[in-house]
């Protein structure tokens, strides 16, 4: 192919590259040790061109995918990758997001080339990377309490694992065998991607592959510019808050101003609260991921996930705020909770420009649960992490879905059978929280009730939000019900804060009730009195 891009060939390459990312994900999931990766699928995979620009991504986690390019660029800047090298990193201040997310980056080298023609990356959430509490999602005040920080370094060098680096990581975590298995799974995933991309290059030639990668980026840029041009020009503002940072008890405000100017947009977070003492701080990569996700949702057609999407969008996130925190801020919940509230604020602003297309707020929290201790039945330590679904916000077109992960998360749940098989915990209840969705002409989706009975003493950390105020409705719709956490001990219910740490005893039951989504449109007259009661 020469000259203008062949649209048929471009579509074929789009799916070909995406299929490689999906296959990388399958290898990672099938070879990983932890339930967090094998069952919950808390991982993402992507392909980049020689300059580190995104060429393709799998249908994985939005909070990972929009942030990974910064990790790839950081690895490229810090390490001169050689054939067979695999770099890893997790430091939020050097390209990462929060410490449990470990990113692996590697180059694809063609014969006779000293620099990589393409790059591959995957990111997986590890269920423990050390720190002051099992699961490495603690109620911390500084990042040093959250686990081992890994700057860009080589896990594998010229095709051989670096045992010294692996041993260093193993020595700083509660579940070393599981960590080693998951890291090696990331390595194998990278290797599968390299094999497939080498086959594609051998078939079509490196220039043709690279040309189509660039063409895909240009194509998605045109799609985004066209979508922005359909929105009315103007300035749109919205403000939303996290309940608190887990330390101060005060709401944490996120303020956004979106300026639509024809084929481009500026997203400005000036006025957002300063970074906090607690762990809800996000770095710029997380904020960029949320903006990328929301603006991609504006596209009316399915679009390949490339770096071209964000070329028309400028993001301003002042340093030192909760959306662009500086060291040594605690970061564990920024990736999972603040990313959700950034999304809510962005959608609230865009609802003023396109009210018929933007839904009410979804649950707005990943309801993060980490737990661990000593398993007396298997005589070994354990650590576990999960996110729990909630209700989706309703829109002008339909009611919200119930019991579903929304926005920045795209994970599954761990099946009860797998969960109880691996940990000294019994699932006492797991059902839809009926009536928790917000009222309206279109009702918000309902949240979930999840009860866990502990068969051994267990240390627990909860990082959840939307406990003080439920997700907002739009167009006259009502808010979804706030979530609620509690511990049942000896038949007595003990209320728990949204962000807390505690020790459960054998026989205790942890009850988590997740928020429902907001409603859309004024509720019918016959239901209005009921909704307000």
Residues 6+ apart with CB under 8 A from 429: 449, 450, 451, 511
Stretch 248-276: mean pLDDT: 97
Is the pLDDT reported for residue 255 higher than 60?
yes
Stretch 44-52: mean pLDDT: 96
> pLDDT tens digits, residue range 474-503?
999 999 999 999 999 999 999 999 999 999
Contact 340, 64 (CB under 8 A): no
Residue 506: Cβ within 10 Å count: 12
Residues 6+ apart with CB under 8 A from 490: none
State the DSSP code for 227: H
Is the pLDDT reported for residue 530 higher than 90?
no
Q: Looking at residue 532, what is its pLDDT? A: 52
H-state helical runs in 67-106: 68-78
Domain ranges of the chain: 7-220, 359-533
Mean pLDDT estimate for the chain: 95
> pLDDT tens digits, residue range 159-173?
999 999 999 999 999
Q: What is the dihedral of CA 166, 89, 47, 83, to 10 degrees?
A: -50
Is the pLDDT reported for residue 410 higher than 90?
no
Q: d(Cα 20, Cα 191) in Å, to the nearest integer? A: 11
Stronger pLDDT, 469 or 4, i.e. the higher one = 469
Q: d(Cα 489, Cα 381) in Å, to the nearest integer? A: 24
Q: Looking at residue 64, what is its pLDDT? A: 83
Is the pLDDT reported for residue 115 higher than 90?
yes
Is the pLDDT reported for residue 4 higher than 70?
no
> pLDDT tens digits, residue range 209-244?
999 999 999 999 999 999 999 999 999 999 999 999
Closest CA to 407 of 353, 465, 346: 346
Beta bridge partners of 502: 460
Residues 6+ apart with CB under 8 A from 440: 360, 394, 473, 475, 476, 477, 478, 518, 519, 520, 521, 522, 523
Contact 518, 478 (CB under 8 A): yes
Q: Looking at residue 2, what is its pLDDT? A: 41
Q: d(Cα 12, Cα 30) in Å, to the nearest integer? A: 27
Residue 198: Cβ within 10 Å count: 16
Out of 296-300, 439-443, 454-458, least confident range? 296-300
For the chain, the farthest-separated pair of C-alpha atoms sits apart, in whole angstroms, at: 75
State the DSSP code for 411: -
> pLDDT tens digits, residue range 117-174?
999 999 999 999 999 999 999 999 999 999 999 999 999 999 999 999 999 999 999 9
The model's pTM is: 0.95
């Amino acid at each position: 192919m020469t000259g203008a891009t062949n649209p048929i060939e471009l579509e074929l390459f789009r799916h070909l590259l995406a299929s490689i990312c999906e296959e990388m994900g399958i290898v990672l999931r099938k070879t990983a040790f932890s339930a967090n990766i094998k069952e919950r699928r808390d991982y993402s995979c992507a392909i980049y061109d020689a300059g580190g620009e995104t060429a393709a991504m799998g249908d994985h986690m939005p909070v990972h995918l929009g942030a990974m390019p910064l990790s790839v660029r950081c690895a490229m800047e810090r390490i001169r990758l050689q054939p067979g090298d695999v770099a890893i990193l997790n430091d939020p201040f050097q390209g990462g997001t929060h410490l449990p997310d470990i990113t692996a980056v590697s180059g694809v080298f063609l014969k006779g080339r000293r620099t990589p023609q393409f790059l591959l990356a995957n990111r997986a959430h590890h269920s423990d990377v050390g720190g002051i509490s099992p699961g490495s999602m603690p109620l911390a005040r500084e990042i040093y309490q959250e686990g081992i920080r890994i700057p860009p370094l080589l896990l594998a060098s010229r095709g051989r694992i670096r045992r010294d680096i692996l041993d260093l990581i193993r020595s700083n975590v509660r579940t070393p065998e599981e960590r080693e298995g998951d890291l090696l799974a990331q390595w194998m995933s990278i290797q599968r991607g390299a094999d497939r991309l080498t086959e594609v290059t051998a078939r079509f030639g490196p220039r043709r592959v690279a040309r189509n990668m660039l063409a895909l980026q240009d194509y998605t840029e045109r799609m985004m510019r066209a979508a922005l041009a359909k929105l009315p020009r103007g300035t749109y503002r919205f403000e939303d808050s996290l309940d608190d940072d887990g330390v101060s008890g005060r709401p944490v405000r996120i303020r956004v101003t979106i300026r639509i100017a024809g084929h481009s947009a500026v997203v400005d977070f000036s006025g957002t609260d300063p970074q906090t003492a607690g762990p809800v701080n996000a770095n710029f990569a997380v904020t960029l991921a949320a903006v990328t996700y929301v603006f991609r949702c504006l596209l009316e057609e399915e679009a390949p996930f490339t770096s071209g999407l964000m070329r028309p969008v400028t993001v301003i996130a002042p340093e030192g705020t909760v959306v662009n925190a500086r060291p040594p801020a605690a970061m564990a919940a920024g990736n999972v909770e603040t990313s959700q509230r950034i999304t809510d604020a962005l959608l609230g602003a865009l609802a003023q420009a396109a009210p018929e297309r933007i839904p009410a707020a979804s649950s707005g929290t990943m309801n993060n649960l980490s737990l661990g201790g000593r398993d007396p039945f298997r005589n070994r330590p354990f650590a576990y992490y999960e996110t729990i679904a909630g209700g989706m916000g309703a829109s002008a077109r339909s009611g919200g879905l119930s019991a579903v992960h929304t926005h920045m998360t795209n994970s599954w749940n761990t099946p009860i059978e797998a969960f109880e098989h691996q940990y000294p915990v019994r699932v006492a209840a797991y059902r839809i929280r009926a009536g928790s969705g917000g009222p309206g002409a279109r009702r918000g989706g309902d949240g979930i009730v999840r009860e866990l009975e502990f068969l051994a003493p267990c240390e627990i950390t909860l990082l959840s939000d939307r406990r003080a105020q439920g997700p907002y409705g739009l167009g006259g719709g009502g808010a979804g019900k706030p979530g609620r956490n509690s511990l049942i001990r000896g038949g007595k219910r003990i209320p728990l804060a949204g962000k807390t740490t505690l020790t459960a005893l054998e026989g205790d039951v942890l009850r988590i009730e997740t928020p429902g989504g907001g409603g859309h449109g004024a509720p019918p007259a016959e239901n209005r009195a009921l909704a307000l009661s």
